[in-house]
Every structure is written in structure tokens, then in C-alpha cells.
Amino acid sequence: MKDDTDFLEKSVTLICKVVCESSHQLTRLVWTKDNNEINVLNSEGKYTGGEIDNPSLKITNVNASDAGIYQCCASNVVGSTHSEQVTLALPNVKLLIKEKDIKNGALKLQATIKSIPDAFKVEWKAKMTSDNEFRPINLQEETYKGSTTSLPNPLLVVNKYNSKNWETYRIEVTNFLGVMFVTSQEALEETQLPAERTIDSLNGR
């Protein structure tokens, strides 16, 4: 099982290859979503493929309603077998501290992104006071020099970081199903001892 995202068509193809002995050819092939069989023929073009001669399933106009667990089932006279499951969901985003040097005012946050369908937009945002909303960061500024939005491992570099002030950062990652975001507070808390978390949370981390 593999997947292929087409950004121009706003589609994703779940690529399935089935191999069987020549004396026991396929008699049936179906796809399921959340354990319910997909009716490709009556989908009004939403799905194409998913048949014996073309096992891969193409999903067009992908949106939030397409989230779910997909699986291919192939049968012949001997029996049936299932592919591994493929989950279409919001991007899975893990944000970790790559470097935290308070003395020199440096903070680096590294994200790891996994997404089916593929993510197509990454944006770093910041909130400078406790009641402000998150606003896009200008990565061209000297403060954020070295930052990237490159998939699958974008990097935020904060060259003038001060843990005593309100400076909370957030990464927002978008695919066809929607937007997932993770804040620096979550990343910082994951790497701290319980006693440190309370102190940092008071500082807005």
C-alpha cells in the first residue's frame, strides 16, 4: 500500500497491488471505509478504480468528510485477504525542542509531519501576550533567521528568546481535510520535569 496526493486535482490515490497465482485469479476486489464497503459505481465520480483490473482507489475532491480508515479486500477461489489499513486524517504533527539556550536567548523548535493526504501548507505563528491571538511570523526578520517551512521537518529558530516574557509559538499544518496546530507550550512541557512545568506555565510556555 502506498498513497499519492495530487494537489492540482485535489485528489488522493490509495495505491494497491495484488499478486496471485495464475491458476487462482481474482474473483472480487472491494474497498472499505471504516469497515463499510465502498460502492464505487454509485459514488457519482467521488471514487474511481477499486476493481480487479485497477485495484488502486482514487478519491477526488478530498475534504473533511473523507477522513477514515481505508482497506482493500481481494478474493479468489482459495479465500480472501486484506491490505494494511490506510488512515486519512488531519496532519500528524510532532513538535520538539531541538535547542533551548536561555542564557544566549536561543530557541529552536523542530516539527515532524506525517500526513495522508500530503500536507501542502506550513505556517509558524506567535502570540506575544497572554490575551493576543496568534499572528503569522515574518521568517525574513533577523529574530527568526534560519527558520523554514519545508516539509516534512520545518524548523523555527528564535534568536531573541526570553522565557520570562509571553512568547508562545504555534505551527499550523494544512492538508485537504483541515488544519492541525501544535503550540510551543506543548513541546516545552513534554521535555520538562513536573516541577518545572508549573513554573513555565506561569510564563506562558
In this chain, the answer to whether the domains covering 2-88 and 92-202 adopt an identical fold is yes
Candidate CATH numbers 3.50.50.60, 3.40.47.10, 2.60.40.10, 3.40.50.300; the one for domain 92-202: 2.60.40.10
Q: Which CATH class is domain 2-88?
A: mainly beta
Predicted structure pTM score: 0.82
Q: What is the 3-state secondary structure (H, E, C) of 59-93?
A: ECCCCHHHCEEEEEEEECCCCEEECCCEEECCCEE
Most confident residue range from 121-135, 143-157, 165-179: 143-157
Instruction: Flag whether pLDDT at 77 surpasses 70.
Output: yes
Reported confidence tier of residue 2, pLDDT bands at 50, 70, 90: confident
pLDDT at 190: 59
Mean pLDDT of the 5-34 span: 90
Residues 6+ apart with CB under 8 A from 189: 197, 200, 201, 205
Q: What's the pLDDT tens digit per position in 91-136?
A: 999 998 888 776 777 889 999 999 999 999 999 999 887 778 899 9
Instruction: Flag whether pLDDT at 199 surpasses 70.
Output: no
User: Hey, where are the domains in the chain?
Assistant: 2-88, 92-202
Instruction: Flag whether pLDDT at 192 surpasses 50.
Output: no
